[in-house]
């Protein structure tokens, strides 16, 4: 229970940091903070412990490929930000991410077996 509480506090601190940075002259740094590999570190440690180094390498490779759906999301936000409301922009970009992630998962499963 304490671990869960500490994770919640960490999440709240990250949101606070993003909020503070978004109001500063260096507001663009707020887009870097969510990319800190917090969950990747946890996932990689668990994969290594349970599956070994080869599985960790495959997980890292998949992580590199997973940057493509994120790039699709960012391109969509960049293009749509001035053309529609923020809700429509972010919703559309999220749908684009889901579509790109589905293609990635399908392709990964198709070519990794």
Structural domain contains residue 92: yes
Domain range for residue 21? 1-36
Residues 76 and 32 in one domain: no
Does some domain include residue 6? yes
Q: How many domains does the chain have?
A: 2
**In terms of Cα–Cα distance, which of 30, 83, 34, 35 is closest to 92?**
83
Where are the strands (E) in 1-113, listed by range?
none
Same domain, 18 and 66: no
Tens of pLDDT along 4-23?
A: 888 899 889 989 999 999 99
Give pTM, 2 decimals. Answer: 0.82
Looking at the domain assignment, is residue 46 inside a domain?
Answer: no
Same domain as 82, residue 31: no
The answer to whether 97 and 66 have CB atoms below 8 angstroms apart is no
75, 110: one domain: yes
In the chain, count of helices (H) and strands (E)?
5, 0
| Residues 113, 77 share a domain | yes
Say yes or no: 60 and 111 in one domain: yes
Q: Is residue 41 part of a domain?
A: no
68 and 14 both lie in a single domain? no
* Angle at the Cα of 13 from the Cα atoms of 12 and 15, rounded to 5 degrees: 65
Residue 8 belongs to some domain of the structure:
yes
Tell me the pLDDT tens digit for each residue of 45-92.
999 999 999 999 999 999 999 999 999 999 999 999 999 999 999 999
pLDDT bucket at 113, cuts 50 / 70 / 90: low
pLDDT of residue 110: 93
Question: Cα separation of 84 and 90, whole Å?
Answer: 10
Same domain, 111 and 72: yes
């Amino acid at each position: 229970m304490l671990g869960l509480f500490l994770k919640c506090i960490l999440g709240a601190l990250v949101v606070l940091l993003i909020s503070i940075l978004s109001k500063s002259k260096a507001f663009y740094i707020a887009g870097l903070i969510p990319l800190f590999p917090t969950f990747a570190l946890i996932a990689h440690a668990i994969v290594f412990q349970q599956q070994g180094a080869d599985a960790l390498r495959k997980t890292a490779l998949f992580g590199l490929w997973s940057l493509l759906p994120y790039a699709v999301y960012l391109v969509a936000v960049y293009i749509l930000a001035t053309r529609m409301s923020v809700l429509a922009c972010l919703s559309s970009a999220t749908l684009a991410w889901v579509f790109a992630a589905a293609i990635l998962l399908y392709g990964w499963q198709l070519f990794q077996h």
